């Protein structure tokens, strides 16, 4: 019998600096209920869903920076979301800024959790590919300070058996790196969940606006196909205090095809009944890793960080 998992991408429109967590959670609850009405059993919320995308701002006061972080999860602000999801019997992915005490030190991560329909947190992912910069770029139209505000994730790319399938997680910039999906592909992932906040403008190099959406989609479509996995990608979109971010939340099949895609840059639910066995033929044929991969020729991938042109060594 086919393993069908109805999943929803619960896209959010902008969250402004003035929007407190209570107001945001009310929006998440409305999205959760709308997703439930579609029959979805799993809902994917965006990256850093509880606050505005604060890495766009230069801040030096750590106390101010830490106002964007959660010290525990669930907490008073998010408990209503956990309670309603459990009441409706829905699992969810939630992205947020995590402030943790580890080995006597304070650590700060760009984190996502996987919560089971019974409300248990069954998985946690801490963002590994942190884009942008750590220094202040005063001439830039906005900052992208993930390298300043977050530590690199220390728990790798894992896959969990949940909701009847093999579920993996990543966050935003991770989707641009093939290593992200291949490490999960080597764990037989069947559905990768991810949230993102992607500015419409590239502050590092002028490029045509259409490339933002093209690169967003092509990386996930390719990686879905090359690893025979579903991908559910959910945006926080629109203009946050005037700073624009792309929409394009979507559900991508293991064939690489887009099964469902958001139309707006507002709060919007898109859902699809995903056959978790659809990727099996791809993993059995064209991307049969055991039969076709030649790892003896891939050493550079884990031994070399930066590219070295011929004759450099
Ligand atoms: N945002 C962007 C992303 O990877 C970015 C940053 C955009 C990097 C475009 C490079 C090119 O979608 C986050 N939060 O990673």
| pLDDT tens-digit map of 238-251 | 999 999 999 999 99
Mutational test site, ligand 1, from 48, 51, 112, 173, max ligand atoms within 8 Å of CB: 173
Query: Residue 308 falls within a domain, yes or no?
Result: no
Q: Does any domain span residue 313?
A: no
Task: Output the residue whose Cα is nearest ligand 1's atom 11.
Answer: 202
Q: How far is the CA of 37 from the centre of ligand 1 (A)?
A: 32
The reported pLDDT for the residue numbered 31 is 99
Inside any domain, residue 310: no
pLDDT classification of 312: cutoffs 50, 70, 90: confident
Which own/partner contact pairs does 258-266 have at CB distance under 8 Å and 24+ positions apart?
A: 258/217, 258/221, 260/9, 262/9, 262/11, 262/235, 262/237, 264/11, 264/13, 264/237, 265/13, 265/235, 265/237, 265/238, 265/239, 266/11, 266/13, 266/237, 266/238
Residue 75 within any structural domain of the chain: yes
> What residues does ligand 1 touch, defined as CB less than 6 Å away?
131, 172-173, 176, 196-198, 202
Taking residues 258-268, report their average pLDDT: 98
Does some domain include residue 157?
Answer: yes
Domain for residue 30, yes or no? yes
Query: Tell me, what CATH number does 136's domain have?
Result: 3.60.110.10
Domain that holds residue 92: 4-303
| Average pLDDT of the chain, as a whole number | 98
Residue 199 CA to ligand 1 centre (angstroms):
7
pTM higher than 0.95: yes
Count how many domains the chain has.
1
The verdict on residue 291 lying in a domain is: yes
pLDDT of residue 106: 98
Mean pLDDT calculated for residue range 3-13: 99
Catalytic residues: 47, 127, 172
Q: How confident is residue 275, by pLDDT bands cut at 50, 70 and 90? A: very high
Does any domain span residue 309?
no
Residue (of 122, 286, 258, 276) closest to 190 by Cα position: 276
């Amino acid at each position: 019998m086919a393993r069908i998992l109805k999943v929803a991408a619960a896209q959010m429109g902008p969250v402004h600096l003035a929007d407190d967590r209570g107001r945001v959670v009310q929006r998440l609850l409305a999205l959760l209920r709308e997703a439930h009405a579609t029959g979805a059993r799993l809902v994917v919320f965006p990256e850093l869903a509880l606050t505005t995308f604060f890495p766009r701002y230069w801040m030096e006061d750590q106390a101010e920076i830490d106002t964007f972080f959660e010290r525990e999860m669930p907490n008073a602000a998010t408990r209503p979301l956990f309670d309603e999801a459990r009441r409706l019997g829905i699992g969810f992915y939630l992205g947020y800024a995590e402030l943790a005490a580890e080995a006597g030190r304070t650590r700060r991560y760009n984190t996502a959790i996987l919560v089971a329909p019974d409300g248990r947190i069954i998985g946690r992912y801490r963002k590994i590919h942190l884009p942008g910069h750590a220094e202040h770029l005063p001439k830039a139209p906005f900052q992208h300070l993930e390298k300043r505000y977050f530590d690199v994730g220390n728990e790798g790319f894992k896959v969990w058996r949940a909701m009847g399938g093999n579920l993996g997680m990543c966050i935003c910039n991770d989707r641009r790196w093939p290593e992200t999906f291949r490490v999960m592909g080597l764990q037989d992932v069947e559905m990768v969940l991810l949230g993102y906040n992607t500015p419409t403008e590239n502050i590092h190099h002028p490029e045509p606006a259409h490339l933002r959406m093209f690169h967003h989609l092509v990386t996930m479509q390719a990686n879905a196909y090359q690893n025979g996995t579903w991908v559910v990608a959910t945006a926080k979109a629109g203009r946050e205090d005037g700073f624009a971010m792309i929409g394009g939340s979507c559900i991508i099949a293991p064939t690489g095809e887009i099964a469902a895609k958001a139309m707006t840059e507002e709060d919007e639910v898109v859902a699809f009944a995903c056959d978790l066995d659809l990727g099996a033929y791809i993993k059995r044929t064209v991307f049969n890793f055991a039969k076709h991969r030649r790892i003896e020729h891939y050493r550079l991938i884990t031994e070399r960080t930066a590219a070295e042109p011929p004759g450099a060594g």
